[in-house]
Structure 1
Amino acid sequence: MTIGARVIKTGLAVALAVYISTLFAFPSPIIAAVASIFTIQPSISRSWQQVVDQVQTNVLGALLALAAVRLFGQTPIALGMVCIIVILICIRLRMESNVGLTLVTVVAIMEANNQQGWLFALDRLLMVLTGMGAAFAVNILIFPPRPRKLFMDQIHEAHAQLSLLLRMAISNEMKENVHRDEKEKLQGTLRKLDEAHRLFEEERPLLRGRKQAGARQLILSRHLIKALHQGVDLLEAVEEHYFAVTGAEAWAKRFDQQIEELAKYHEHILLKLAGKMKANAAIEPEEEREGRLINQLSEYLHQNPDEYKRLVFVASTMLEYAFHLRRLDRVTDQVQQRRETEAANVN
Structure 2
Amino acid sequence: MKLGARAFKTGVAIMITMYIATLIGFEAGFFAGTIAAATSLQPSIYRSFQTMAEQIQANILGSAIAITLVLTAGNAPFLIGAGIVLVIGICTFFKMKEDTTFIAIIAVLALMMDSSNVVYLEFAGMRFTTILIGIFSAFLVNLAFLPPKYEIQLFNQISELTSDLLQWIRVTTRHLADQPALKKEIEMLNTELWQLENTYLLFSEERTYSRTKGIERARKLVIFRSLISLSRKSYDLLTTLHRLDYDIEHISKDISRRILKEVDKVMHTHEKLMLMYQGRIRSKDTDPLHSVSTPDVKGLIVELINYYDEGDEEARLKLIPLASMLYDYHEEMMHCKMLMKSYLKKASDHDFD
TM-score scaled to structure 2, two decimals?
A: 0.88
- How far apart, in 2, do the equivalents of 1:214 and 1:17 lie? 35
Determine whether 1:337 maps to 2:337: no
How has the CA–CA distance of structure 1 residues 245 and 286 changed in structure 2, closer, same or farther, with 3 Å as cutoff? Answer: closer
Letter paired with 1:327: H
- How far apart, in 1, do the equivalents of 2:151 and 2:319 lie? 39
- CA displacement, residues 67-113 of structure 1 (integer Å, 9 cap, x when unaligned): 11122211222211221121122222222231112211110011223
Residue of structure 1 equivalent to 2:303: 296
Determine whether 1:282 maps to 2:288: yes
CA contact (8 A) 2:111 2:124 kept: yes
How has the CA–CA distance of structure 1 residues 87 and 204 changed in structure 2, closer, same or farther, with 3 Å as cutoff? Answer: farther
- How far apart, in 2, do the equivalents of 1:156 and 1:223 lie? 13
Contiguous gaps of at least 5 residues in structure 1: none
How has the CA–CA distance of structure 1 residues 187 and 153 changed in structure 2, closer, same or farther, with 3 Å as cutoff? Answer: same
Q: CA deviation at 1:180?
A: 3.2
| More off after superposition, 273-282 vs 187-196 | 273-282
- CA displacement, residues 117-172 of structure 1 (integer Å, 9 cap, x when unaligned): 33222211211121122222222222111111111111111111111111111222
SS in 1 for 2:244: helix
Letter paired with 1:267: E
| More off after superposition, 59-68 vs 120-129 | 120-129
Q: CA deviation at 1:114?
A: 8.5
Q: CA deviation at 1:298?
A: 4.3
Determine whether 1:41 maps to 2:42: yes
Q: CA deviation at 1:57?
A: 1.1
- Aligned pairs for 1:136-285 (under 5 A) are 136-244=139-247, 247-250=250-253, 251-279=255-283, 280-283=286-289, 285=292
1:313 pairs with one of 321, 346, 353: 321
| More off after superposition, 213-222 vs 35-44 | 213-222
Letter paired with 2:151: R
Q: CA deviation at 1:259?
A: 1.7
- How far apart, in 2, do the equivalents of 1:283 and 1:298 lie? 31
- How far apart, in 2, do the equivalents of 1:192 and 1:205 lie? 24
Q: CA deviation at 1:233?
A: 0.9
Letter paired with 1:131: G
CA contact (8 A) 2:297 2:323 kept: no
Letter paired with 2:23: L
- Equivalenced residue count is 342
Determine whether 1:3 maps to 2:3: yes
- How far apart, in 2, do the equivalents of 1:263 and 1:321 lie? 9
Letter paired with 2:44: S
Letter paired with 1:332: M
Residue of structure 1 equivalent to 2:82: 81
- How far apart, in 2, do the equivalents of 1:316 and 1:331 lie? 23
- How far apart, in 1, do the equivalents of 2:147 and 2:197 lie? 21
Give the fraction of aligned pairs with identical amino acids, expressed as a percent: 26
Q: CA deviation at 1:227?
A: 1.0
- How far apart, in 2, do the equivalents of 1:197 and 1:161 lie? 19
Determine whether 1:104 maps to 2:110: no
| More off after superposition, 149-158 vs 210-219 | 210-219
Letter paired with 1:87: I
CA contact (8 A) 1:73 1:114 kept: no
CA contact (8 A) 2:30 2:127 kept: no
TM-score scaled to structure 1, two decimals?
A: 0.90
Letter paired with 2:246: F
- How far apart, in 2, do the equivalents of 1:176 and 1:306 lie? 24
